[in-house]
Structure 1
Amino acid sequence: MTSSPLPVADQRLLLVHAHPDDETIGNGATMAKYVAEGRRVTMVTCTAGEMGEILVPELEHLAADREDKLGEHRRGEIADAMAALGVTDHRFLGGFGRFRDSGMKWAPEGGYAIPADDVHENAFWHSDLVVAADELVRIIREVRPQVLVTYDEFGGYGHPDHKQAHRVATYGAALAAVPSYKPELGAAWDIPKHYWNAMSESRMREGMRQLKAAGEEVEFFGGDPDGPLPPVVVADEHLAAVVDGGSEGARAKLDAMRAYPTQIQVDGPFFALSNNLGDRVWAEEFYRLAKGVQGPVNDEGLETDLFAGLDSSWA
């Protein structure tokens, strides 16, 4: 007997990110596409981003070393971003303010982040892994997602909160699948497919070359299309999936990015990419498969749907 495909209305995606804006930059087009198609999207943010850099001079008073109110402001920004993407189920891990942004600094050799010299006692980086994971177990067992998306073990570029989000997502998913583990948190649920965010090396190099050809200054990743790239950029042979949000997904993603004026400059390199390369640069989002079986693929050997291969037994 052949199982039927998993109905779209029963497809549930859970994303775990560290700070407001991370989710939009990494997965905005995917979320917008899936919401528009009638799939359920749950977005979990682990901190309020209290230690973020403030790009708006008139809001610098919100900084952690002054009024320390940036987290509350970014709470409003992420609400606006979720509205732009159509996501209605957004949660802060353990509730707003449970875990604080840990901050970061750049490694002396550059290219990746390391923990800051001074880290708040309530920082997410310092959180007990079981305590934080249990908060996610509650959500997993309630939502029962078939797909989990988070960072790789290095957190993309090394930010301690990204690393911790990876650990919490991975451990929380493992605990949620154990029937005898804290049944008071809900009935056990094993998420069949786990993905890690990624940037395609070939697409990144192609985009940098096109920007240079258009006369634009390439202000990120060293600026050399043929030079070394940071760990957040992944060799194409390690990629398993690409989700193309199309022009609608790209526009929703850019609108959501505009909801973060304290973190993203509208006239900065992110939007220069869109202005010069079109929607494709933001519409396509790439993933590594961390758990599960790769479903049907395209000519590049990539799934085009994170739910590929799942059947109705996972409803």
Structure 2
Amino acid sequence: MAEPTLRLMAVHAHPDDESSKGAATMARYAAEGVEVLVVTCTGGERGDVLNPKLQNDPEVERDLPGLRRREMAAAAAALGVQQRWLGFVDSGLPEGDPLPPLPPGCFALEPLEHAAEALVRVVREFRPHVMTTYNEDGGYPHPDHIMCHKVSVAAFEAAGDAARYPTAGEPWEPLKLYYDHGFSRSRVRTVHEALLAQQQESPFAPWLERWSEDEPEREVTTRIECADYFGQRDRALLAHATQIDPDGFFFAVPRDLERSVWSVEEFELAQSRVPTEIPEDDLFAGVREAL
């Protein structure tokens, strides 16, 4: 009997988030035959151009939303994954003191029930066994990241309930929900110390200075070996040319050093409907056995 096809859904706030959070993990699973779908909640319409080489570029200024959609398609192709737009509008990142109000009609101001229904429809159609998203702080406090967390948790909990959103498709119950960890303190410290040991400059010194040793770290439950897929991750990052400077932060650590001292991506198991043992080295631990 053929093994069932596993399915992984990664829910992100903006185009480019998928390439900086868990990208090598997605590329690994896709290469191993898992169906992987990135759901992008907004179009990134209010994002700034973060690559200094493209600032004030007439083409970028003429159609940033369209350009970001094309960048997203190229990034998905680099990772070997599918991608779906959820259809909401970027909230922007309010700055100032006091903070200005969010713009009307943006994702962060959508009623949770409405936004969750849109994701429930995609969950019931794609039928993922595992979902990943951000923790309750959004990974960092962007209003769209925090809303992405709320919507993802609500959809994970509602998608299998036939009484919830009865017109949004046949119920499907995902089995595990994870928060991706990006730059954990352990990762930052390990890479920082390895750079200093080789007498190289570290981009992480200011991070470590800001962090208090008394501040507890979030639990990492799951580490995925994925160094062989760092190249695909980097190509996906570079596809987001308006957001990623090829000479910038994401490429400041030599890849051979990164592979030798930090070959994993980290996740935090938030909910599981199948038995599993912590720590894990597979997002589908417990799922494979259940199927």
TM-score tier, shorter chain, comes to: 0.7 to 0.9
1:244 corresponds, among 225, 228, 236, to: 225
Matched, 1:15 2:36: no
Q: Kindly provide the CA deviation profile for residues 173-205 of structure 1, in whole angstroms up to 9, marking residues without a partner as x.
A: 222121122322112122111100114322221
1:136 corresponds, among 102, 112, 119, to: 119
Q: Kindly provide the CA deviation profile for residues 127-152 of structure 1, in whole angstroms up to 9, marking residues without a partner as x.
A: 12111111111111111111010000
Instruction: Report the Cα offset of residue 282 of structure 1.
Output: 7.2
Aligned length: 287
The corresponding residue for 2:156 is 173
The corresponding residue for 1:70 is 64
The corresponding residue for 2:206 is 222
Q: Kindly provide the CA deviation profile for residues 258-311 of structure 1, in whole angstroms up to 9, marking residues without a partner as x.
A: 111211111112111234623357741101111015634xxxx52111000124
Q: Kindly provide the CA deviation profile for residues 196-250 of structure 1, in whole angstroms up to 9, marking residues without a partner as x.
A: 01143222211112223334443347243x76169xx9737x1110111132x11
Q: Is the Cα contact below 8 Å between 1:35 and 1:41 reproduced in 2?
A: yes
Hey, what's the Cα distance between the residues in 2 that align with 1:40 and 1:234? 35
The corresponding residue for 1:267 is 247
The corresponding residue for 1:235 is 217
Q: Is the Cα contact below 8 Å between 2:54 and 2:242 reproduced in 1?
A: no
Hey, what's the Cα distance between the residues in 2 that align with 1:221 and 1:102? 31
The corresponding residue for 2:42 is 47
Instruction: Report the Cα offset of residue 172 of structure 1.
Output: 1.4
Corresponding letter in the other structure for 2:130: V
The corresponding residue for 2:139 is 156
The corresponding residue for 1:195 is 178
Matched, 1:37 2:19: no
The corresponding residue for 2:271 is 291
Matched, 1:305 2:278: no
Instruction: Report the Cα offset of residue 57 of structure 1.
Output: 4.3
Hey, what's the Cα distance between the residues in 2 that align with 1:86 and 1:165? 23
**Alpha-carbon spacing, 1:281–1:73, altered in 2? closer, same or farther (3 Å):** farther
Hey, what's the Cα distance between the residues in 2 that align with 1:227 and 1:171? 33
The corresponding residue for 1:26 is 21
Hey, what's the Cα distance between the residues in 2 that align with 1:166 and 1:234? 21
Query: Unaligned stretches of 5+ in structure 2?
Result: none
Instruction: Report the Cα offset of residue 20 of structure 1.
Output: 0.9
Q: Is the Cα contact below 8 Å between 1:253 and 1:282 reproduced in 2?
A: no
Hey, what's the Cα distance between the residues in 1 that align with 2:96 and 2:279? 33
2:190 corresponds, among 206, 210, 217, to: 206
Corresponding letter in the other structure for 1:285: E
Matched, 1:82 2:64: no
Hey, what's the Cα distance between the residues in 2 that align with 1:160 and 1:62? 29
Q: Is the Cα contact below 8 Å between 1:104 and 1:116 reproduced in 2?
A: no
Hey, what's the Cα distance between the residues in 1 that align with 2:104 and 2:8? 32
Corresponding letter in the other structure for 1:82: A
**Alpha-carbon spacing, 1:167–1:260, altered in 2? closer, same or farther (3 Å):** same
TM-score after normalising by structure 2: 0.88
Q: Is the Cα contact below 8 Å between 2:22 and 2:265 reproduced in 1?
A: yes
Q: Is the Cα contact below 8 Å between 2:94 and 2:101 reproduced in 1?
A: no
Q: Is the Cα contact below 8 Å between 2:191 and 2:262 reproduced in 1?
A: no
Matched, 1:101 2:81: no
C-alpha RMSD over aligned residues: 2.9
Name the stretch that deviates more: 183-192 or 305-314.
305-314
Hey, what's the Cα distance between the residues in 2 that align with 1:185 and 1:245? 35
The corresponding residue for 1:185 is 168
Q: Is the Cα contact below 8 Å between 1:102 and 1:116 reproduced in 2?
A: no
SS state of the match for residue 195, structure 1?
strand
